[in-house]
Structure 1
Amino acid sequence: MVIILGLFMVLPILMALWVSLLHWDGQSNPFSTDAQFVGLDNYRDLLTQDGLDRTLFATSLRNNAYYVLLTVPLQTGLALTLALIVNQKLLRGRGALRTAFFFPSVTSSIAVSTVFLFLFQGSGAVNTALSWIGVKGPNWFNDPRGVLSLLLGGLGIVDSDNPSGFLADHSFLGLSWFEWLSGPSVAMCTIILLAVWTTSGTFMLIFLAALQDIPRELEESAAIEGVNRFQMLRYVTLPALRPVLFLVLTLGLIATWQVFDQVYVMGQGAPGNTTLTPAFLSYTSAFDNADFGQGMAIAFILLALILTMTALQRFVLRERTPRPRRTR
């Protein structure tokens, strides 16, 4: 097992780390003199040097951050809700419901993404259904406007077309604060909806297995004490699900920061780079622009970001033992 992991996991990671220190087009041996060693220049171009590379990378981070902030809580909450529903002993057709809820998770993401393209096009089924209630739907995959800027603009708080003032005058990584806070685009919201729908079924099964593993005596004791459903969920069910909740949140966090296939099929960064993600930017840098060094640098920055957020999440969800009271 150590040999297999070393050969197919550790060794490729070390090779990719070496490539991130090179200016390499992928056409020669990266360990020969044909590959130019540039040290940390690829990382500097992405993090500190003004230019298109840093702007695109910052844009991809902004898009992916909103994707994570919306997708992970929504898919976790929906998965837990579905698990609580199908775990009811008196519910009829529980097996059919489990299959229906889980079916989107086993369907090809490419096929589902293609279906969503037809559903959310300008004259698609979604806009047709919205027209029945008097709502004119947007051109979903061609609308680069941020939903938060649209909301604030509609309330008259900011001018979303010509932002000015404090948010427009300050920047971070080449993007103004207004661009960072404008929210996910309408196109990205569609991809978020797709991700929540296709991943909730898998996490539902994980929660369902954990719910069925909760001792029945614990729930019966709480019922004898006269707790209601909300109190049962808060003080009995959720504490028992803490390890599984950490697992689901960690898996969701990793998957959402590595999103690629939906972006590749549904937008490829368009419109206006509002669906661009670090994983897709790493792919385009390496295979489209023949700059494998920059592509690997993006991948390792993304790896560091995922590890940091996972450690932070572990710290927040850790088991807390009550401190002993001091006796006077």
Structure 2
Amino acid sequence: MVLVLGLFLLLPILMALWVSLLHWDGQSNPFSGQAKFAGLDNYRALLTEDGLDRTLFATSLRNNAYYVLLTVPLQTGLALVLALIVNQRLLRARGALRTAFFFPSVTSSIAVSTVFLFLFQGSGAVNSLLSWIGVKGPNWFADPRGVLSLLLGALGIVDPDRPSGALADHSFLGLSWFQWLSGPSVAMCTIIVLAVWTTSGTFMLIFLAALQDIPRELEESAALEGVNRYQMLRHITLPALRPVLFLVLTLGLISTWQVFDQVYVMGQGAPGNTTLTPAFLSYSAAFDDADFGQGAAIAFIMLALILCLTALQRWAFRDRDARPGRNR
């Protein structure tokens, strides 16, 4: 097992780390000395040097950050609600409901993304349904406007077309504060809806397995004490699900920072780079621009970011009841 992991996991990671320190176009052997050694130039171009590379990387980080902030809570909450529903012992057709809720998770993401392209096009089914209630739907995949900027503009707080003040005068990684705070684009929101719909079924099964492990005697004792459903959920169910909740949030966090296939099928960064993500930017830099060094550098920056966020999440879910003490 150690040899297999070393050959197919550790060795490729070390090879990719070496490539991230090169200017390599993929046409030669990166270990033969034919590729130019760049040191940390690829990382500096992405993080510190003004230019298109840093702007695109910052844009992809902004897009992916909103994707994570919306997708992870929504898919976790929906999965928990679905698990609570199908865990009801008196519910009829529980097996059919579990299959229906889980079905999107086993469907090909490419096929589902293609279907969503038809559903959310300008004359698609979604806009047709909205027209029945008097709402004119946008051209979802061609609308680069941020939903938060549209909301603030509708409230008269800022002018989305001509932002001014501190939001326009200050910047970070080449993007103004207004660009960072404008929110996910309308196009990105459709990808978020797709992600929540396709992943909540998988996490539902994880929650369901944990719910079925809660001792039934504990719930019956609480019911005899007059505990209502809300109190049961808050004081018994959720504490029992805490380790599983950490697992689901961690898996969701990792997968959302690595989103690629939906972006590749549904937008490839368009419109206006508002659906661009670091994973797709890494692929594009390597295979479209023949800059494998920068593509690998983006991947390792994302690896460091995911590890830091996972550690922070682990710290947030640590057991605060434990108190250090001396053995007697």
Instruction: State the TM-score bracket (shorter-chain normalisation).
Output: over 0.9
Q: Could you tell me the TM-score, scaled by structure 1's length?
A: 0.98
The residue identity in structure 1 corresponding to 2:158 is V
Q: CA deviation at 1:222?
A: 1.2
CA–CA distance in structure 1, aligned partners of residues 156 and 264 of structure 2? 35
In structure 1, give the amino acid aligned to 2:26. G
**Aligned counterparts of 2:219 and 2:21: Cα–Cα separation in 1:** 56
Quote the Cα distance in structure 1 between the aligned partners of 2:289 and 2:322: 55
- Per the alignment, residue 107 of structure 1 pairs with 107
The SS at the match of 1:269 is coil
CA RMSD of aligned residues (A): 1.0
Matches within 5 A, 1:288-299: 288-299=288-299
Alignment of 1:231-270 (within 5 A): 231-270=231-270
Secondary structure of the 1:156 match is: coil
Counterpart check, 1:182 vs 2:176? no
Shift of 1:224: 1.5
CA distance in 2, matches of 1:298, 1:323: 41
Structure 1 counterpart of 2:164, one-letter code: S
- 3-state SS in 2 of match to 1:160: coil
Alpha-carbon deviation of 1:324? 8.9
Aligned to 2:75: 75
The aligned counterpart of 2:128 is 128
Q: How does 1:204-243 map to 2 (within 5 A)?
A: 204-243=204-243
1:75 positional shift = 0.1
Counterpart in the other structure of 2:161 = 161
Residue matched to 2:316: 316
User: Aligned partners of 1:35, 1:218: CA distance in 2, in Å?
Assistant: 64
Q: Which runs of 5+ in 1 are unaligned?
A: none
Task: Give 1:46 deviation, angstroms.
Answer: 0.1
- Name the aligned partner's letter for residue 191 of structure 2: I
What is the aligned partner in structure 1 of residue 118 from structure 2?
Answer: 118
Using the alignment, how far apart are the partners of 1:154 and 1:20 within structure 2? Answer: 45
* One-letter identity of the residue aligned with 1:139: N
Deviation at 1:6, TM superposition (A): 0.2
Code of the residue aligned with 2:67 in structure 1: it is Y
The Cα shift of 1:221 comes to: 1.5
In 1, the alpha carbon distance for the partners of 2:39 and 2:322 equals 48
Counterpart of 2:233 in 1: which secondary structure? helix
2:201 corresponding residue in structure 1? 201
Q: Size of the alignment, in residue pairs? A: 325
CA distance in 1, matches of 2:163, 2:100: 46
Distance, in Å, in 2 between the alignment partners of 1:210 and 1:27 is 50
**Per-residue deviation, residues 127-169 of structure 1 (Å, max 9, x unmatched):** 0000000000000000000000000000100000111111100
Distance 1:28 1:324 in 2: 57
Distance, in Å, in 2 between the alignment partners of 1:59 and 1:323 is: 44
**Could you tell me which residue of structure 2 aligns to residue 62 of structure 1?**
62
Note the C-alpha offset of 1:323: 4.9
Q: Deviations over 1:224-276 (max 9, x none)?
A: 21111000000000000001000000000000000000000000000000000
Residues 1:94 and 2:94 aligned together: yes
Q: Tell me the amino acid that sits aligned with residue 211 of structure 1.
A: L
Q: What CA distance in whole angstroms lies between the structure 1 residues aligned with 2:321 and 2:253?
A: 26
| CA–CA distance in structure 2, aligned partners of residues 226 and 105 of structure 1 | 38
Give the TM-score of the pair, scaled to structure 2: 0.98
Paired letter, 1:7: L
Q: Tell me the residue number matched to 1:305.
A: 305
